[in-house]
């Protein structure tokens, strides 16, 4: 089954404690991206990756890092989480790029709370 | 500056009561408009892509249409299982293929 898998689904952490949210896709997609979703603000892109070792900033990259060492994985790293990073996070992938004639597949989401 | 605006923010319907959701966009040189459905606590799920004015696509009780300035998602005789947040999205101006700009969504509730 084609899918994007995120882990963990829920996470409560304390300010400043480094964490990683993993994302893996089994569709051999080149493009992957991270979004956060906040009430009243909608989905906003954090980082994206066009292929292995190729990443770039989205609209709200501050406080986040990513890496793409393998095609299937695209982890999101919060080096020093702060309460304003409390949000619902989604990983997405697409075969030929978002906005092209292919659909984007989204993971099931990670609800992060930073206290 | 918002490039995608959805209305209404929330819509409550009775089962069988048809209606439409609106998505207006300001991006010039549209390279596709996407509709997604999002259930509570889940990731968005792709519904349709529209590329040119006048285009229509249908899936069960949903029909999406596109004009030069907006798109409509028509829901005919909705059922409670159609309750969800409906999102529209466009690639941003400037030719980037690496993101979608999403509207804030319309929360649809269909009562039995």
Summarize pLDDT for B45-75 with one digit per residue, the tens. 999 999 889 999 999 999 999 998 999 999 9
Residue B44 forms contact with A (CB below 8 Å) = yes
- Whether B9 contacts chain A with CB within 8 A: no
Size of interface A-B (CB pairs under 8 A): 67
DSSP letter for A83, please: G
CA–CA separation, A50 vs A32, rounded Å? 7
**Mean pLDDT for chain B overall:** 91
Q: How many other C-beta atoms are found inside a 10 Å radius of the C-beta of residue A28?
A: 10
Of B43, B91, B105, the CB nearest to A98: B91
Pick the CATH number of B4-111 from 2.60.40.10, 3.30.365.10, 3.40.50.300, 3.40.640.10: 2.60.40.10
Q: Give how far A19 is from chain B: nearest CA, Å.
A: 21
Q: What tens digit of pLDDT does each residue of A39-79 get?
A: 989 899 999 999 999 999 999 999 999 999 999 999 999 99
User: Does position B1 have pLDDT exceeding 90, yes or no?
Assistant: no
For the ranges A16-20, A87-91, B38-42, B94-98, which has the lowest average pLDDT? B94-98
Q: What is the pLDDT of residue A109?
A: 97
Nearest beta carbon to residue B104 from set A42, A96, A106: A42
Share of chain A above pLDDT 90, in %: 86
Of B49, B89, B104, the CB nearest to A101: B49
B14-35: per-residue pLDDT in tens?
A: 999 999 999 999 877 777 899 9
Residues of A within 8 A of B41 (CB-CB) are 109, 111
Contact A40 B104 (CB under 8 A): yes
Domain extents for chain B?
4-111
At residue B100 the predicted structure's pLDDT band, cuts being 50, 70 and 90, is confident
Beta strands in A52-107 (DSSP E): 54-57, 65-66, 76-78, 87-94, 105-106
Enumerate the residues of chain A whose CB falls inside 8 A of the CB of residue B103: 42
Confidence of residue A30 (pLDDT cuts 50, 70, 90): very high
CB-based contacts of A75, cutoff 8 Å, min separation 6: A20, A21, A22, A23, A66, A67
The shortest CB-CB distance from B99 to any of A41, A45, A90 is to: A45
């Amino acid at each position: 089954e084609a899918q994007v898998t995120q882990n963990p689904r829920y996470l409560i952490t304390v300010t400043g404690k480094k964490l990683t949210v993993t994302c893996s896709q089994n569709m051999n997609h080149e493009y992957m991206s991270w979004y956060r979703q906040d009430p009243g603000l909608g989905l906003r892109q954090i980082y994206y990756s066009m292929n292995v070792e190729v990443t770039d900033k989205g609209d709200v990259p501050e406080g986040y890092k990513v890496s793409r060492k393998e095609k299937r994985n695209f982890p999101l790293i919060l080096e020093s989480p702060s309460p304003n990073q409390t949000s619902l996070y989604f990983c997405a992938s697409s075969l030929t790029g978002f906005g092209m004639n292919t659909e984007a597949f989204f993971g099931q989401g990670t609800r992060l709370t930073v206290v | 500056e918002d490039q995608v605006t959805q209305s209404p923010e929330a819509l409550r319907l009775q089962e069988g009561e048809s209606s439409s959701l609106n998505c207006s966009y300001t991006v010039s040189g549209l390279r596709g408009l996407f509709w997604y459905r999002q259930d509570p606590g889940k990731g968005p799920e792709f519904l349709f892509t529209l590329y040119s004015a006048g285009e229509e696509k249908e899936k069960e009780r949903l029909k999406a249409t596109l004009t030069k300035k907006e798109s409509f998602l028509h829901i005919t005789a909705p059922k409670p299982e159609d309750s969800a947040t409906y999102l529209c999205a466009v690639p941003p101006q400037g030719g980037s293929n690496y993101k979608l700009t999403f509207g804030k969504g319309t929360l649809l509730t269909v009562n039995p």
